[in-house]
Structure 1
Amino acid sequence: MALVATLSVVTLTSCAPSSSSSSATAPPDTAVQHAQFGAPAAPDGHTLELQSDVVVVGGGHNAVWGASSDGTTWTLDSNAPGMDQLAVDKVLLATGYATGRIVQITKDGDRTDVVLAPIAITDLVKNGEVRFDQEVNPGELDVQGFDGGSITDTTEGGDGTISPVSLITPKEDYGDPLRDKPLPVPAKEFSKKTEDWELSGGTGADGLHFAVTTEASGLKVFATGTLLFDALHINLGMVIANSVAGGARGRVSGIQGVKVDVQAGSQNQGGSTIKKEFKLPFEIPIQTLIGGVPVFMKLSASVVVNAALVGTDATITGSGEWHLGSGLDVKIQDEAVTTNGDQDLKVVKSIMDSISGIALGGAVFNLGFKFKMLAGVGAPYFGAGGFATLTVTVGIGIGSALGSPFVLCRSASYDMALGTGVGIVTEPNILTSLLERIPHVKDVLPDDGLTRQATKPILHRKQTMPENQVCVGSGDEDK
């Protein structure tokens, strides 16, 4: 029978230092390190029943020297309690983020490098309930940036995922571990540049904001978006019984709406087509303890840009803001998702009034925002547990459906979809880098079949002006 966990909320400034027999020269246990490396692990032995091959390393942050920027390599104090029990293929539990399957151990005096691979939540917990239940104030959240954000080119004939350079290289000098690429300290903002695009954003009092920009190959794009929160409350978790995880269950409320601003243009002969998905290079971890076992709620996001700018010097701009009445209230029961009835979408700023541009052959621009909430365990950019997703897509268009040069047609659409699931969530580029360095990692990775998810559309609105056959064509209209 599953044991039910009692949840204790832990703030980053209130975690008390853990005593340990670790080296006197180990770094101090501070609030900054709690935010960066995760809360200390000190299981009580009964609230959550851990698997038999889990090794608990004591000492909290007194046992942690540092971590690599991709969160896979941890440098620990060789003298910390439990270090003598480490072995390849066992599961390490040292802090909230120093958690995973051990695939490599390199000891050098008082410091030991441990490389971790992703785990399923049942690789850590045999029996118990893992649940996050807390009000979330976006203005108090920090983002933890990383080097592994990916950009996927979905254009027909595209070149797939643009992978960054190898994130971690084998170290020759173990006396100064992770000096070149340490795990970053959480901050309010993030930014990342690729060869052609720049991503930026962060947290604020009203929610999560992002921007994507480019000026390459005759294409100019400046698009921003904000997912608006109001009294956001996340209750999400799952029950694990005899090493089998049940479905995600809980409730999410307080998602208020979204606002966007789009400016795009093309100088290419024949125009430009953009189909890209950006995994924003950050996670937002919020930590709790369940019976001394660190559990987190991780918030992450992706941005999808799908646009067609037809003709030379094609341009399109637009900005708008929408609220969901009293806010979105979602109930999650395994793979079933229900909302608080038909969504009352209120237009705060009409995007139809702002759509403009020059597009003799027509231009469309769709900006999507995917927001994921994961309650579980794991390293910073590996996660396992129950999750929920919200996808919001705003589209604007200019030009007629039938190509008439005499009528200026404008269109706008707004779509929302909800998803729920249970399983493993990883950053693909980080996993690729780990497999390149340590090929046998593939032998210990959790089964992809452990991940179950379902998605449900919950809102669709579309408007075209003027409402005539030239502009509307055969498309559907939702007034």
Structure 2
Amino acid sequence: MLLHRKSRVLAVVGVVLLLTAGCGSVVAGTAVKVGAAPPAAAGSGPAPALPAGDFYGYGPDPSISYQPDVVPIAAGPAAIRGVSDDGFTYSMDASAAGVSDLAVGKVMLASSLAAGRVVSIAEGDGVRDVTLEPVSFEEVVPDPEVNFDSAIDPATMSAVRFPAAPSYEEEGGPAGPGGLRGPAAALRPAAGEPGPVAGKDPITYKDVKVTPNVDSGHAGLHVTMTKDDLIVDGDIGFTFDNLRFKASGSPGKQNFSVLLQGLTGFDVAVQAGLGEVDPSGANKKVSIAPDISWTFPIPPSPATGGLPLFVQLTFTLQFITAFAAKNSTLSASASYGLKGDLGINGTSGTVPELTVNKSIMDSIDGISLNAMGHVVALKMKLMLGMGVPSAMAGPHVFVSGAVGIAKGTQIAINPDCRFASLDIKAGVGASISVDGFILKQVEKQLRKKLGVLLSVETPLVVIHREQTLPEVAACTLGFGSTLG
């Protein structure tokens, strides 16, 4: 029996929608196979070199006609001396061709991951520190169009860490009716130099350890947290078979289409426990955008509309604990199948069919003297883009899965009451894309409202389900009413 009213004990929080801007586009021409050697640039000029060990992608093609205010940096990524912790300010070699031509209001195009409109310039010893704001593709090349069709194998992509906007946000507060509350504090781990990393090594954010799990058939994260006698451990991710990404047409127009093929499922397993501490201060709401991405550089050519691009895979993670008593535990696991394409063709959307391989309701288990709950959510985004690490532009597809579980009731009449909720959402978009709480930091860093540039992408809600068992008054009083 499905519920149409959310639990009073646990409010399932879905992953936030991406925000996009303008109607810029990206590539035009032939398909590119991700995982094979990048194709040679097909313009009349020479293909820009990608220096060994470089992490910023390809530089511009000097034979391409860009918009009048675009300043291509001929040396490409070789002219970059460093990047700030927030990923918006680049130290450029002052002697490199084109760097002296940069001015506030112009667009710098140094590489796939160093492209944007100049907000400010500070002169240094042999360098110019250039702060950028994100731009759409149509601000770089005139009248671009999309014609991209590529197999995507994350196992062949490079795992890279870039400086980025704060990638960790935590809220804490009392559990129970009213939810979790408390002031948010934006934090981030110590920034390191951009560079390749082992794609399955753990990354620590304050008290949370995130371990990526990305290969040819799976993309997800393992998360562990130990703080104040609160322990969280979970695996969440998506499965796929022969993943393929397609984008064509002009974004923002009726002929625009974005399609993801090969998505096969969504799996989650989570357990949490609280020891001998007051739950009013121990519960947490944590959002993490790991500053690691899986990328594949594509050089500029007619196939890319003359732009240097990245195929990029990224994640956003969120979890919430809601224990109302000491010495409590809660665990559950589930597996869902997804069959069919995900995307949009003009104004018509297509979403996969959902099947239940393993019901989360059957696995909810735990011990508590009062109600308790947990939420875990993951968003996976696949983009063909360029820009700065925290705000890339280009056509993209995202899919998110959020699972909420709860056990017991506030009145403690029936400790076997169980509640579960599943949200699987998807969306497509184009142009500038900034995720969730990172958007707030982007606005602060640039000291201006990017909201005037941003528009909500096209969301496709795949499915939402809620269920309470057993269907008796003592349970529905705590979790909501069964409406059939």
Q: Aligning the two structures, in what range does the TM-score lie when normalised by the shorter sequence? A: 0.7 to 0.9
Among residues 347, 350, 355, which one is paired with 1:338 in the alignment? 350
Among residues 433, 458, 461, which one is paired with 2:462 in the alignment? 458
Which stretch shows the higher mean deviation, 253-262 or 196-205? 196-205
1:195 aligns with 2:199: no
- Distance between the aligned counterparts of 1:4 and 1:260, measured in 2? 35
Long gaps (5+) in structure 1: 19-27, 168-180
Deviation at residue 372 of structure 1 after TM alignment: 2.4
2:60 alignment partner AA:
A
1:40 corresponds to which residue?
Answer: 59
1:280 corresponds to which residue?
Answer: 290
Report the CA distance shift for 1:137/1:38 in structure 2 as closer, same or farther (over 3 A).
same
Identity rate of aligned residues, in percent?
A: 26
- Distance between the aligned counterparts of 1:116 and 1:76, measured in 2? 12
- Distance between the aligned counterparts of 2:308 and 2:130, measured in 1? 19
- Distance between the aligned counterparts of 2:172 and 2:254, measured in 1? 34
Among residues 274, 283, 286, which one is paired with 1:266 in the alignment? 274
1:255 aligns with 2:263: yes
- Conserved 8 A contact 1:314-1:357: yes
1:277 alignment partner AA:
S
1:160 alignment partner AA:
A
- Distance between the aligned counterparts of 1:286 and 1:321, measured in 2? 30
1:377 corresponds to which residue?
Answer: 386
Among residues 377, 380, 390, which one is paired with 2:399 in the alignment? 390
Report the CA distance shift for 1:476/1:137 in structure 2 as closer, same or farther (over 3 A).
farther
Long gaps (5+) in structure 2: 1-24, 43-48, 174-179
2:188 corresponds to which residue?
Answer: 164
Report the CA distance shift for 1:366/1:381 in structure 2 as closer, same or farther (over 3 A).
same
1:142 corresponds to which residue?
Answer: 158
1:87 corresponds to which residue?
Answer: 103
1:24 corresponds to which residue?
Answer: none
Please list the CA deviations of residues 33-78 of structure 1 after superposition, one character each: whole Å capped at 9, or x if unmatched.
Answer: 1xx1112221543xxx632100111133443444445433334444
1:223 alignment partner AA:
G
- Distance between the aligned counterparts of 2:272 and 2:464, measured in 1? 24
TM-score normalised according to structure 1 size: 0.78
Deviation at residue 129 of structure 1 after TM alignment: 0.9
1:23 corresponds to which residue?
Answer: none
Deviation at residue 308 of structure 1 after TM alignment: 1.7
Task: Please list, as runs of the form range in 1=range in 2, the aligned pairs for 1:24-39 lying within 5 A after superposition.
Answer: 29-33=50-54, 36-39=55-58
1:221 corresponds to which residue?
Answer: 232
Task: Please list, as runs of the form range in 1=range in 2, the aligned pairs for 1:236-247 lying within 5 A after superposition.
Answer: 236=247, 239=250
- Distance between the aligned counterparts of 1:459 and 1:210, measured in 2? 22
Deviation at residue 96 of structure 1 after TM alignment: 0.9
> Helix, strand or coil for the counterpart of 2:457?
strand
Report the CA distance shift for 1:191/1:238 in structure 2 as closer, same or farther (over 3 A).
farther
Aligned length: 436
Which stretch shows the higher mean deviation, 252-261 or 372-381? 372-381
Task: Please list, as runs of the form range in 1=range in 2, the aligned pairs for 1:99-118 lying within 5 A after superposition.
Answer: 99-106=115-122, 111-118=127-134
1:5 corresponds to which residue?
Answer: 28
Task: Please list, as runs of the form range in 1=range in 2, the aligned pairs for 1:375-454 lying within 5 A after superposition.
Answer: 375-400=384-409, 403-405=412-414, 408-426=416-434, 432=441, 441-442=446-447, 446=450, 448-454=452-458
1:283 alignment partner AA:
S
Report the CA distance shift for 1:413/1:37 in structure 2 as closer, same or farther (over 3 A).
same
Bigger share in strand: 1
Report the CA distance shift for 1:291/1:248 in structure 2 as closer, same or farther (over 3 A).
closer
Report the CA distance shift for 1:55/1:186 in structure 2 as closer, same or farther (over 3 A).
farther
Report the CA distance shift for 1:211/1:101 in structure 2 as closer, same or farther (over 3 A).
same
- Distance between the aligned counterparts of 1:294 and 1:195, measured in 2? 35
Report the CA distance shift for 1:162/1:360 in structure 2 as closer, same or farther (over 3 A).
same
- Distance between the aligned counterparts of 1:3 and 1:371, measured in 2? 21
Report the CA distance shift for 1:236/1:123 in structure 2 as closer, same or farther (over 3 A).
same
Give the number of the structure with larger relative contact order, counting CA–CA contacts within 8 Å between residues 6 or more apart: 2
Please list the CA deviations of residues 378-431 of structure 1 after superposition, one character each: whole Å capped at 9, or x if unmatched.
Answer: 1222212333322211222222586324x6233433221222334422366598
Task: Please list, as runs of the form range in 1=range in 2, the aligned pairs for 1:302-317 lying within 5 A after superposition.
Answer: 302-317=316-331
TM-score normalised according to structure 2 size: 0.77
- Conserved 8 A contact 1:237-1:385: no
- Conserved 8 A contact 1:248-1:387: no
Report the CA distance shift for 1:73/1:238 in structure 2 as closer, same or farther (over 3 A).
farther
Which stretch shows the higher mean deviation, 117-126 or 149-158? 149-158
Among residues 350, 360, 374, which one is paired with 1:351 in the alignment? 360
The RMSD of aligned alpha carbons is 3.6
Following superposition, which runs of at least 4 residues in structure 1 exceed 6 angstroms of deviation?
A: 15-18, 244-247
> Helix, strand or coil for the counterpart of 1:94?
strand
- Distance between the aligned counterparts of 1:247 and 1:159, measured in 2? 44
> Helix, strand or coil for the counterpart of 2:138?
helix
- Distance between the aligned counterparts of 1:141 and 1:4, measured in 2? 20
- Conserved 8 A contact 2:145-2:305: no
Deviation at residue 117 of structure 1 after TM alignment: 2.4
> Helix, strand or coil for the counterpart of 2:111?
coil
